[in-house]
Amino acid sequence: MKNVLILLVLSASINTFAQGAWTQKRGEAYTQLSFSTIGSYSSIYGNPNYETEREITDNTLQLYGEYGLNNKTTLILNIPLKFIETGNLVSTTAPVTIASSNTSLGNIVMGIKRQFYNNKWVISGLLNLEANSGSFENESGIRTGIDAWSFTPTLNAGLSFKWFYAQAFTGVAFRTNDYSSSFKIGGEIGIRPIKRILVIGLIDVVKSFENGDVVLPPSNLLTGLYVNNQEYAAYSLKFVGEITNKLGVNIGIGGAFSGNNVARRQALTFGAYHKF
């Protein structure tokens, strides 16, 4: 079970994390530091697809942690630091935005997970509170997080064996400030082909209810960063190397099969974890 728990901690995708059904034991903790990068892009998923005014580079340094309050209750904290840069103009029309860069916090997430059932299958509930802790620069249109507070309850279920696990999750994100709420569902599998090597695949789907009518500045709409009604059907593939029973590293790639108001570009992630 400890090895499966390592899998679940590390299987966080670019847009989701902590969806595993398993909880930490009392007094145990995991931390992970990761860096994700979306290289220069200008194409955005939409109906139809559209271009940003300038090329955008989106990087994230993320500190994630879990702590077992007791054997069935785990506290979660995720702190993202965003490094976003806008550069060359995509079109020759008169620009509305300026080229710029911004380093700022994204949406900090605090959560609590409670295990309800554990008999072969593990079932748990997760409540995440996403803070309105991002920033916005009107001149460049750079936004580092959704301009809203989000409350997301999810239900998680998982099944594990010595060399394999599978789990799924579903929930709803409720948002303030006239941002639309959204439905989410997904699942992942993890296998251990050889000792100390883990391979993890994840599918994550988010669908907007389109029930929000927030009015965002024109400059923000021209970057497409954290605008309303973001949707995606995303995937990620991650490889984890266990250096010791408490320390490991990982590398992953993720992107979207389809979406709305999200980048049409894959992201690379590099990380390291430590178990306490």
DSSP reduced 3-state for 230 = coil
Give me the mean pLDDT over the 67-92 stretch.
Answer: 95
Task: Using pLDDT thresholds of 50, 70 and 90, give the confidence band for residue 120.
Answer: confident
Query: Tokens at residue 5, please?
Result: 């728990």
Q: Over the stretch 162-173, which tens digit does the pLDDT of each residue have? A: 889 999 999 999
Q: State the pLDDT at residue 17.
A: 45
Q: Which residues, including other chains, have CB under 8 Å from residue 35's CB and lie 6 or more apart?
A: 59, 60, 61, 62, 269, 270, 271
- Picking from 236, 216, 128, the residue whose alpha carbon sits closest to that of residue 175 is 128
- Picking from 77, 86, 79, the residue whose alpha carbon sits closest to that of residue 38 is 86
Q: State the pLDDT at residue 10.
A: 37
Q: Which residues, including other chains, have CB under 8 Å from residue 26's CB and lie 6 or more apart?
A: 68, 69, 70, 71
- Is the pLDDT at 156 greater than 50? The verdict is yes
Task: Using pLDDT thresholds of 50, 70 and 90, give the confidence band for residue 19.
Answer: low
- Picking from 192, 186, 168, the residue whose alpha carbon sits closest to that of residue 240 is 192
Q: Read off the pTM.
A: 0.89
CA distances from 158 to 19, 188, 241 (A): 10, 9, 22
Mean pLDDT, all residues of the chain: 91
Question: 99-115: string of b/e by CB count within 10 Å (b at 16+)?
Answer: eeebebebbbbebebeb
Query: Tokens at residue 97, please?
Result: 């935005």
- Picking from 229, 275, 271, the residue whose alpha carbon sits closest to that of residue 13 is 271
Poorest-pLDDT segment among 10-14, 38-42, 143-147, 169-173? 10-14
Name 204's bridge partners. Answer: 186, 234
Q: State the pLDDT at residue 248.
A: 93
